């Protein structure tokens, strides 16, 4: 949980990108911590599950991986990849 604690601090400070945030919440869901921490963590975990980025068992889906890989990518004007804003999924825990 030490690495997860460091990631939680980075998440709370707003220093994680979408890919790292998805991985963090997948780990929190897998270990059950998403539901133990409650409040904004449980809400954010539920949003990632509902969006299809993470399974209820804490596995990152193909959609979640694709969105994380596309983060910050500079595409051509013809590129139709949808943009995902991490703020739509997260709630500031403070």
Q: What is the mean pLDDT of residues 21-35?
A: 95
The pLDDT, as a whole number, for residue 67 is: 84
Query: What are the tens digits of pLDDT across the range 31-48?
Result: 999 999 978 999 999 999
Confidence at 21, pLDDT banded by 50, 70, 90: very high
Residue 94 lies in a domain: no
Let me know if residue 50 belongs to a domain.
yes
Q: What's the domain count of the chain?
A: 1
Instruction: Give how far Cα 35 sits from Cα of 30, 52, 76, Å.
Output: 10, 18, 40
Q: Does residue 23 carry a pLDDT above 80? A: yes
Whether residue 62 lies inside any domain: the answer is yes
Give domain status of residue 93, yes or no.
Answer: no
Residue 81 has pLDDT above 50, yes or no: no
Torsion of CA 9, 54, 35, 33, to 10 degrees: -50
Q: Residue 68: CB partners within 8 Å, gap ≥ 6?
A: 17, 18, 19, 22, 23, 60
Centre a 10 Å sphere on the Cβ of residue 16 and count the other Cβ atoms it contains: 20
Question: pLDDT averaged over the chain?
Answer: 81
Domain span holding position 8: 2-70+79-88
Dig out the tokens for 54 from the structure.
Answer: 């993470």
Lowest mean pLDDT among 9-13, 52-56, 58-62, 87-91: 87-91
């Amino acid at each position: 949980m030490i690495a997860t604690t460091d990631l939680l601090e980075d998440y709370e400070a707003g220093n994680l990108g979408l890919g790292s945030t998805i991985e963090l919440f997948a780990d929190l869901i897998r270990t059950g911590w998403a539901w133990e921490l409650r409040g904004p963590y449980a809400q954010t975990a539920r949003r990632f599950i509902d969006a299809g980025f993470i399974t209820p068992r804490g596995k990152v889906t193909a959609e979640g991986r694709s969105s994380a890989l596309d983060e910050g990518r500079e595409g051509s004007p013809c590129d139709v990849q949808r943009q995902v804003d991490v703020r739509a999924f997260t709630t500031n825990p403070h």
